[in-house]
Amino acid sequence: MTKERSVWSREIPFRVDIAGIIEIMGTSLYSRMDTPIRELIQNAHDAVIRRRHCDLEFQGRIDIRQDAEQGTLTISDDGIGLSPEEAEKYLGTLGAGITGLLKGSAAADSDVPLSGDSADLIGQFGIGLFSAFLLADFLRVESRREDAAEGVCWEAGPGTEICLSASERTTPGTTVILHLKPRFRVYSESADLLEQVIREYADFLTIPIFVNDAAARTNVINVAWFEATPDPEEVELALAGYFEESPLEVIPVRMETPLSIAGALYVSPERTPGFSEEATVAVTVRRMVISRRITDLLPAWGTFFRGVLELTDGTPTASREDLVRDERFEMLRQTLEEYLFRHLELLAEVQPSRLEAIVSWHRYHFAAAAQHEERLRHLLRRVYRFQTTQGPLLISEILERSEADPLVESEADFVVWYHADRRQERCLDELFAGISIPCVHACRSFEEALLASMLADEDSDEIELRPATPSSANFAASVLGMSTPESPGDEWNVFFRECNAQIQVAALDSGLPVLAFLNDRFELFRTFDELRREGDIPAGFQRLIDSHFRSLPTGRNEVVLNSNHRVVQRALQQGPRSPLSSVLRVLVMHALHAAGAARSQRAAAVQTEDLDWIADALWGTSGQQPSEE
């Protein structure tokens, strides 16, 4: 017999676990436990603003009082207040804030009349009062609207029941009393801690906040960067005090189109190598601090920018601790990037030395960022000086002095010589000292890539960038003034094998018997190879290293033997079995070592053998000829 399936349905109300909601707010929505104080200040602020809209002569204030004995924190305002109907409808409904209704279309559907408008209001989501349960286990709200017949008292604990009753309050405004949980009673005891929270979030609110009935307000309200016509010196001093560092350059920001932005940015003196830091800015919305470290708003190339911005068009997140990354945020980001570019470009026009000082201070940041920002490279062309064998030069000055010799160059009109190994600076300074062509010391972070990018921006096939080594085309003729390098022969190559270098012979004008040129990629490869043999490199990292060197061959260090030098001439004539061959090998190893090349244990042993062989030959003592292996 088949059992018939029952068919039924019924409607049930949503059940809300208030304690669970509060736990979610505390662990997922807010990152700081003092956030409820900020939320209640925002509510008080909006109440005062709404009353100002109704009474243009009204000023308003917010009072916060501590009672250590009772363990309470009281936040009061003399704003517009609540009627009993408003208290019943909105204070007991999570997500139905009055400010949010005023800002949105829901206000038109409300059966409770609301006074005021949305201009200058901060709140939006209707969760501010409920956030107080993070700190308190019991709330009491007393409020009265000016046009209401009576005041209202709203009381609630951690459960779902709310008690509404008549209040004897006679003046307009609202008072919220938090009966703090034992672990948060410090907010009822420490005035310093409370004032710190107020300054963190509400320092710039236009409504004064007083703590414990003090004569002086806690928040500063007015700061130089928010003035309609800010004084540059006052803005600089205000930024220095707020961020506790001296700005290198102050950039006032004030615009109404395409977006409303006010405040000031500045160039920080903090120099963090590389790009480990992000550009950050303190953001306020209607003067309430959203966060002091908003990221992604300033361009990634400007990691040294800091500042404070009032973003009326910004959209705070539900926690009001950040901005929503929406289309408006992207518009703000693009607008600020354009503003910063224009400021720096104007500096390049009217005060190039000032911009050059900023670029010199943050040269590693600029050099790295400019590789990916063509507009930034065009800016740096006017102020970024590369170190060269002829001193610091702009890219335009380098090109002016790098015109190719038509007798040796058939295709390139300009040849820019460079090297990327700091150990070779002194040697190359000496080599290029007698000629008019500079060599760029591109051995500081990112400069090799920046130099290549700047030359590529010239959009010309007639400019070549070449490393300053004998293996580069025409380096021998253009720079060294030497004949075409040749191999010394297989027997000599075997003899010099322990030197770990490519040995060549050429006639040089230089009086030196040997010239050594390091290949930085070869030296880097040798370092990693040594670590690999010792087992110190993780397998994943080793695969990355292997892939890198497969895609770009390492090359080798290079040594040129000067055939015009008498010692070299005689050694080459006598062959690799003569005492002079050991002298020549010692000279080669010394030149490589002086240039900064690493010396293996086997190379050191061979050098010792060479010196012993030379000593025996000089003193006539019979001895074994050093190994050619």
CATH number of the domain that residue 564 is part of = 1.20.120
The CATH number of residue 113's host domain is: 3.30.565.10
Structure-token pair, residue 204: 């710039």
Same domain, 117 and 256: no
Counting the structural domains of the chain, the total is 3
Q: Does residue 312 form part of some domain?
A: yes
Same domain, 230 and 336: yes
Same domain, 182 and 252: no
Last residue of a domain, one of 340, 375, 398: 340
Same domain, 169 and 269: no
Same domain, 190 and 335: no
Domain assignment of residue 66, given as a range = 18-211
Last residue of a domain, one of 211, 236, 269: 211
Q: Does residue 265 form part of some domain?
A: yes
pLDDT of residue 45 exceeding 60: yes
CB contact set of 168 (below 8 Å; sequence gap of 6+): 151
Same domain, 128 and 180: yes
How far apart are the C-alpha atoms of 328 and 330, rounded to whole Å?
Answer: 5
Q: Could you tell me if 323 and 333 are in contact, meaning their C-beta atoms sit under 8 angstroms apart?
A: no
The CATH number of residue 333's host domain is: 3.30.230.80
β pairing state of 151-156 and 162-167: antiparallel
CA distance readout (Å), 566 to 5, 495, 571, 579, 588: 111, 20, 8, 15, 15
Query: According to the model, what pLDDT value does residue 480 have?
Result: 79
Same domain, 53 and 172: yes
pLDDT of residue 116 exceeding 60: no
pLDDT, tens digit (0-9, with 9 covering 90-100), for 180-233: 999 999 999 999 999 999 999 999 999 999 999 999 999 998 899 998 888 999
Same domain, 199 and 54: yes
Q: Does residue 356 form part of some domain?
A: no
Query: According to the model, what pLDDT value does residue 613 have?
Result: 82
Last residue of a domain, one of 340, 363, 397: 340
Same domain, 121 and 79: yes
Q: What is the mean pLDDT of residues 405-425?
A: 87
Please confirm whether the linkage preceding 258 is cis (ω < 30° from 0). Answer: yes
Mean pLDDT lowest among 104-118, 402-416, 454-468 = 104-118
Same domain, 132 and 59: yes
Q: Does residue 390 form part of some domain?
A: no
Query: According to the model, what pLDDT value does residue 200 have?
Result: 92
List the one residue out of 506, 415, 405, 419 whose CA is nearest residue 468: 419
Q: Does residue 433 form part of some domain?
A: no
pLDDT of residue 111 exceeding 80: no
Instruction: With cut-offs at 50, 70 and 90, classify the pLDDT of residue 553.
Output: low
Instruction: With cut-offs at 50, 70 and 90, classify the pLDDT of residue 24.
Output: low
Query: According to the model, what pLDDT value does residue 113 have?
Result: 46
Instruction: With cut-offs at 50, 70 and 90, classify the pLDDT of residue 131.
Output: confident
User: How far is the first Cα of the chain from the last one, in angstroms, to the nearest whole number?
Assistant: 99
pLDDT of residue 99 exceeding 50: no
Same domain, 103 and 29: yes
pLDDT of residue 122 exceeding 60: no
CB contact set of 53 (below 8 Å; sequence gap of 6+): 116, 117, 119
Q: Does residue 446 form part of some domain?
A: no
Widest CA span in the chain: 123
Q: Does residue 181 form part of some domain?
A: yes
Instruction: With cut-offs at 50, 70 and 90, classify the pLDDT of residue 108.
Output: very low
Q: Which DSSP helix (H) or strand (E) runs through 561?
A: strand 557-562
Percent of the chain with pLDDT over 70: 82
Same domain, 136 and 245: no
Mean pLDDT lowest among 14-23, 265-274, 511-520 = 14-23
The DSSP code sequence of 397-447 is HHHHT-B--TTT-SS-SEEEEEE--GGGHHHHHHHTTTSS--EEE--STTH
User: What amino acid occupies position 213?
Assistant: D
Query: According to the model, what pLDDT value does residue 387 have?
Result: 94
Query: According to the model, what pLDDT value does residue 411 have?
Result: 81
Q: What is the mean pLDDT of residues 609-626?
A: 72
pLDDT of residue 608 exceeding 80: yes
